[in-house]
Amino acid sequence: MSAARGDGGPLITGELAAAEVSVSAATIRKWVQLGHLAAAGRQGRRHLYRLEDVFAAERTARRRAG
């Protein structure tokens, strides 16, 4: 588990972000490709995300799917 700290709160890995919104890590990567989510930082090779951004991306994706 990663929890770096950025300006807008703790940053989490894609794997943890995926677990928080009950999707796969591949879905997180897809949201990034689609522009629904942007990495807020890096830890080595891993991208880190703000949890609030992950929740916003989930809402956007679900709205478009349904």
| Long-range contacts, stretch 18-24, CB < 8 angstroms, 24+ apart | 20/51, 20/54, 20/55, 21/54, 21/55, 21/58, 23/58
Per residue in 1-53, pLDDT (tens digit) is: 445 555 667 899 999 999 999 999 999 999 999 999 999 999 999 999 999 99
pLDDT of residue 23: 97
Gyration radius (Cα) of the chain, Å:
11
What pLDDT score does 1 carry?
A: 46
